[in-house]
Amino acid sequence: MTLTLALLALAIGLMIFAGWRGGRPLDLTKGPRMMPWRFIMLLSGALAALLLIHVGTLLGVIRPQ
């Protein structure tokens, strides 16, 4: 449970950071962006969703049938 919560916090932090970096305006004087920040935000958001589901199963939440 501790590892899952730590990974969840890391994924949410990375999602917020990548969203902030991806939302900044383009600066052509620095050159092109080499990191796909919006894609990184999407991937870390998907990982956070999976980790939330895992936390739910560890806590014993059952899905409706």
DSSP-H helix ranges across 23-61: 37-58
The predicted pLDDT at position 31 comes to 78
pLDDT string in tens for the chain (65-residue length): 999 999 999 999 999 999 999 998 888 888 778 889 999 999 999 999 999 999 999 998 877 77
Which pTM does this prediction carry? Answer: 0.83
Task: Determine the angle formed by the axes of helices 2-22 and 37-58, rounding to 10 degrees.
Answer: 160
Q: What is the pLDDT of residue 56?
A: 93
